[in-house]
Homo-oligomer: A and B are copies of this chain.
Amino acid sequence: MSSTSEPAAVPPRRGRGRPPRGESTDTRDRILTAAREEFSERGYEKTSVRGIAKAAGVDSALVHHYFGTKEQVFEAAIEVAFAPAFNAPGAVADGPLDGVGERLTRFIFGIWENPTTRTPLLAIVRSAVNNDTAAAVFRRLIGAQLLRRVAAQVEREDAELRAELAAAQLVGCAMLRYVIKVEPLASADLEQIVARVAPVVQGHLTAP
């Protein structure tokens, strides 16, 4: 989506003239990492492109050049964090339908247990509950990347609603375990939770 920027158009940084091959990718990555941290710590509203640029050690203009508006930086920062997981073969939406509940459950808990993806997830949750623009980004991203793909497998008229109720079980678990930290759920053994939650997710998707 925002990957069309051409290295030749990047203004030279740090007085080094034309950046060496690979620098623009490094810079983009550094900006995205800084963006994830800023959004996660401050939430969408309090984060500014200027603050992200400062944390990444670049000029604000470069952030705008690569990504555009704050909303677009937010979307890119979140998307890039999940692309490997969403695109991993068989991760969620591929594979047999009778195992989709467990795959989806393990996928969602997996990205929350992993510190690298937990930061952007916290950023999404904190931002989306407080800001309509961030909520729209969340809807677009999760809708297109996950829910539609799961729903496409479930060949029923109410497939999208089913996928969302399944997602609701997982979103609620993540909220109570990782964000609000309600005990005993916050410290419960992951396998004990998966054993209870995966059949529920499966049921939402495929039960009559």
Instruction: Mark A residues whose CB is within 8 Å of B.
Output: 43, 125-126, 128-130, 135, 138-139, 142-143, 147, 160-162, 164-165, 167-173, 175-177, 179-185, 188, 192-193, 196-197, 200, 203-204
Contact = CB atoms under 8 A, between A and B. Distances in A.
Contacts of A130: 43, 126, 129-130
Contacts of A172: 167-173, 175
B179 A165 contact: no
Give chain A's interface secondary structure class: helix
Contacts of A171: 171-172, 175-176
Contacts of A125: 129
Given A161-B184, A162-B196, A168-B169, 20 more contacts: A125-B129, A126-B130, A128-B179, A129-B130, A129-B179, A129-B180, A135-B180, A139-B180, A139-B182, A161-B192, A161-B193, A164-B184, A165-B185, A167-B172, A167-B176, A168-B177, A169-B172, A171-B171, A171-B172, A171-B175
Name the 7 nearest CB pairs between A and B, nearest first.
Answer: A172-B172, A168-B172, A171-B172, A164-B185, A168-B173, A169-B169, A135-B180
A13 B98 CA distance: 67
